[in-house]
Structure 1
């Protein structure tokens, strides 16, 4: 899906535009709050009705019952085994809940929500054709946000800190998301955006990777659980009521370990190549993971996000496949190898066993 209003701009490459001729410069202007990025590959759904918050709260990972008009949140829909099926960025206006989602989720999520309405007072609508999503950093730019019930439709990303009820596995002294002041604004498709400087999707992806920020369309596959991506810091409330997949979330967090872990890779840039999405990550002759996103960052150089097996030693240098051969990759740990088992429950003797004092 593409609803691009920036594709006709001078120098635009791709639809929606990947860049406008200077990806490094675009990263700088974007992170400094001097440009915006068009996210025309996104979609928008609404849930209207008095039961909307309690209903979605009962289905997904985040605590939503107390969401106030204008407040932002993020939530995940899991399958019964705890695998991520959908990710939603949420704004409530007091009457409707606005769901900002990746474009690939547009039809399947709407269909699933409609099947689950039963007798509840909720109505689902697809508003994707009415708006374009604009991403920006900081508050220097006054993007002309659409409003609903006098509430500006601006989603402020909670990734910059651990939300109430969430949990962070990353143990780095300074999390790169500490300066992640990112937001997404819904703008009417006929709004005049000609006064805004533009950055392409390549610039945004580079900044996202450097902030360790997971995205549904990039990092999620049919086996993903939230723990593997450290997504519990922004999208999971560990102390809320029951929801689909909660047993897996609690069991892995309290007693087990996620089978895989997200890692950022610093790539050898001497050959000038970047791995494709889906490229194999190897340790010696063994394939231990997959690249989910890669980019050239204006300060860090070539980087990538990858999901690898949990047990891979964090000190090991890995290799990533590419068209020119293997690229050496040093790990920067996001999810540690010992993530999980937070309950630290002592092992109890078997019933009837003899203990020694």
Structure 2
């Protein structure tokens, strides 16, 4: 089982209540997003403000892990899906730790400052990530620490991140602009087709199903992609490389455009159906200020891309995020 599966129950996560919840209109989030504001009373305008670059999101419920020491980048390079060797200070990146079968066990964003790599994860994901990394130190000159109580994460326009000392969180509006809630962040994230580990993934998730991989030989890598296909060996690489070169992943991520006449949004984990049979599941859903109700879902690869689906009983049209034929880079020549 992936450690991402341990992020579900709300009562299993440590709560660090943000001081920004004391601002007028703040409504606290639920589940894994408790401890920060879901919104401040103006849901649509908050999305537009964030999209326009005039706002930030309090993501201080995310966990923060630091990796220090002279061997840190080469060590992370050997353990994860990302190319860390030669990573320039200040360059944002993302990495995954896979199982031997290529399934996603840990996921993190981060940046190196020249002395320390600062990683941040889903709420509740920091302790399992730190424990795994600490268990893999051996003789390497690295130190791993969980520092969530001392540092906080902010979400910036363009789905970017910033890290600030937690003691300075209350003063963040003076530097970063108007605070908006996680509902605004989630709506823009889902619309952009960006998966949220633990919500949009399950214990079977492999990177190819989510478009997490890129091929550096085709151009400048996107720093938001987590799997570098032109680096050395790491655990689970065989599965990623085999699907990338020869085969199709068993499932594919899809953006669902939901019937706006239905009042409810599909619940996390709800069935996605085609002609009465289950073909996938809903990860996360939101109401977008322009697109209307949307959801991030994972469906079987062979589901026709033009088929109308039912997500938790709501009719949904598909927008392809991962090509059903992804992986057919090598074809046999007769």
Under TM normalisation by the shorter chain, which class is it? 0.7 to 0.9
- In structure 1, what is the equivalent of residue 142 of structure 2? 122
Determine helix, strand or coil for the equivalent of 1:24: helix
1:203 aligns with 2:177: no
- In structure 1, what is the equivalent of residue 221 of structure 2? none
Q: How many residues align?
A: 300
Unaligned residue ranges in structure 1 (runs of 5+): 138-180, 348-357
User: Per-residue displacement from partner, 1:269-310 (whole Å, max 9, x unpaired)?
Assistant: 112221111111000110001000100000000000100111
Shift of 1:102: 1.3
Determine helix, strand or coil for the equivalent of 1:56: helix
* Alpha-carbon distance in 1 for matches of 2:260, 2:114: 50
User: Per-residue displacement from partner, 1:184-210 (whole Å, max 9, x unpaired)?
Assistant: 111111211243311111111000011
- In structure 1, what is the equivalent of residue 32 of structure 2? none
Counterpart among 197, 221, 232 of residue 216 in structure 1: 197
1:227 aligns with 2:204: no
Aligned residue runs from structure 1 range 295-306, under 5 A? 295-306=286-297
* Alpha-carbon distance in 2 for matches of 1:80, 1:271: 42
Q: Is the 8 Å Cα contact of residues 2 and 16 (structure 1) preserved in structure 2?
A: no
Deviates more, 1:47-56 or 1:185-194: 185-194
Q: CA RMSD in A?
A: 1.2
* Alpha-carbon distance in 1 for matches of 2:327, 2:257: 25
- In structure 2, what is the equivalent of residue 255 of structure 1? 246
- In structure 2, what is the equivalent of residue 7 of structure 1? 21
Q: Is the 8 Å Cα contact of residues 159 and 189 (structure 2) preserved in structure 1?
A: no
Counterpart among 50, 59, 64 of residue 44 in structure 1: 64
Counterpart among 321, 329, 334 of residue 334 in structure 1: 321
Determine helix, strand or coil for the equivalent of 1:219: coil
* Alpha-carbon distance in 2 for matches of 1:194, 1:218: 28
Aligned residue runs from structure 1 range 70-109, under 5 A? 70-109=90-129
Determine helix, strand or coil for the equivalent of 2:86: coil
Give the structure-2-normalised TM-score. 0.87
* Alpha-carbon distance in 2 for matches of 1:346, 1:187: 55
- In structure 1, what is the equivalent of residue 160 of structure 2? 183
Determine helix, strand or coil for the equivalent of 1:263: strand
Q: Is the 8 Å Cα contact of residues 190 and 285 (structure 2) preserved in structure 1?
A: yes
* Alpha-carbon distance in 1 for matches of 2:255, 2:119: 28
Give the structure-1-normalised TM-score. 0.82
* Alpha-carbon distance in 2 for matches of 1:346, 1:8: 65
Larger radius of gyration: 1
Counterpart among 193, 196, 208 of residue 172 in structure 2: 193
Q: Is the 8 Å Cα contact of residues 120 and 126 (structure 2) preserved in structure 1?
A: no
User: Per-residue displacement from partner, 1:310-356 (whole Å, max 9, x unpaired)?
Assistant: 110111100111xxxx2100011111211112122436xxxxxxxxx
Determine helix, strand or coil for the equivalent of 1:7: helix
- In structure 1, what is the equivalent of residue 44 of structure 2? 24
Counterpart among 279, 287, 301 of residue 310 in structure 1: 301
Over 3 Å counting, the alpha-carbon distance change for 1:120 and 1:47 in structure 2 is same
User: Per-residue displacement from partner, 1:206-253 (whole Å, max 9, x unpaired)?
Assistant: 000110011213212110000101111411111110000000011111
* Alpha-carbon distance in 1 for matches of 2:123, 2:294: 25
* Alpha-carbon distance in 2 for matches of 1:109, 1:305: 25
* Alpha-carbon distance in 1 for matches of 2:164, 2:241: 38
Over 3 Å counting, the alpha-carbon distance change for 1:20 and 1:250 in structure 2 is same
Unaligned residue ranges in structure 2 (runs of 5+): 1-13, 29-34, 215-224
Counterpart among 267, 272, 290 of residue 281 in structure 1: 272
